[in-house]
Structure 1
Amino acid sequence: MIKNFSKHLFSVLFFATLFFSCADKNKTAKSQSIDPMLSKQARLDSLFESPIIIDSRLKKENIDGVKFFKSYILSENIHFQYDPDSIIRFSSQKDDVVELLKNKYQEKIIFLRFTSNTISLRYGVHIGMSVDDFFSLMPEQELVDNAVIYDSDDVSIKFYFDTKTNTLKNVHYYRFVD
């Protein structure tokens, strides 16, 4: 009887440990996506560098449930012809586009255009969010022609808002490369 009890106790402890470790991982993943301790400027700098994660080795990529299909646009590297750059384009059926510059040394997103309301960028920025929620996550900027534009030396992110509903309706990301 004690042997049987110890088996049940072991099973209960095992499943409880498994449950709490999964719950802890989920909590950690959520806290990494929206970190309240991260300053608004640090979030913006991080979005400049990598607004989403995409794996260019895949023929199809699912981002927040939207399927992106891969096609290549080859471009010549005028600086080094033996190691050519390629621009990899992922596009969805809803006119969403992700383009990456890929070569032997790097993989950088150079263009994004999102209009699908299920897609979100890092730190909880997503299509359909209100202007107030947006500015609670990102540095305050003036709305000019229904858009908020953040620029750095080589990156520009434009957030377009619907004036009737005061919600985010479109995101454009440009990385300027030599």
Structure 2
Amino acid sequence: MKRILIAFIALASLAHAAEAKRAQCTVFDRHDRSQRLMAFEVDDAKYPYILKINGVDEGASQRKLIDIPLYDESQGRFETWYLGRVERTMDRQRSIYRMHFGEMALDTRQVDDRSNYSLYMDWENGTAGWLDEGMAFNLYDVVEKKPQLVVWPASCRRLD
């Protein structure tokens, strides 16, 4: 009976580890930490992985926060800011989400990537880092070697 109980506990812990990871994140402006750049939810099991985005409008207005939807070609509108796509990679306890934001291009009706960001989620340690690729691309894997130089912290709270 004792072995069955131990096996059940082991299986339950493995099932829990395999469950989707979720978090609520906020990224503050790198130069003015009193201003929010973006807030969103992360769901590691459901594409586009980055949901409920509220961020700074890259348009003519100053610091205007808007809800940013995932781009849908059938409902795309001109002069609207979209999340075009998200790429996810994983290594051990970390998930890396590369997000492409922009407006719909007139000729192709696809999102013209103007702002690209990477979110580095360390699920095990409960930390996250944010890279603005317009300021510093991950050339020669500098993020992995010296993350303090180009990545600033994101505030993330686990939801699972």
Q: Tell me the TM-score normalized by structure 2.
A: 0.28
Q: Which of the two has greater strand per residue?
A: 2
Q: Which of the two has greater helix per residue?
A: 1
